[in-house]
Amino acid sequence: MKIANIVAYTIAIIGALNWLLVGLFSFDLVAFLFGAGSVLTRIVYSLVGVAGIWMIFFWLVYKPFVKVAQ
């Protein structure tokens, strides 16, 4: 499960950086690299969404930020 978390965080960070570029400069790096509306672009966007859902699932189920009561 650790590998899935690392992959999810990496993909989410890439997606966040892409949205930063969109917000600051109106430049969509994914669309630039793979073509606007192409299958590869849609796959990348879908992977970013799945990574976000995985991170929400992990946070809700495992609560990694809750301290263990001693």
pTM of the model: 0.79
Question: Average pLDDT, whole number, for the chain?
Answer: 90
| Integer Cα distance of 9 and 52 in angstroms | 8
Model confidence pLDDT, tens digit, residues 21-39: 999 999 999 999 999 999 9
Q: Give domain limits for the chain.
A: 2-62
C-alpha distance from residue 42 to each of 2, 28, 39, 51, 59 (Å): 26, 13, 5, 14, 26
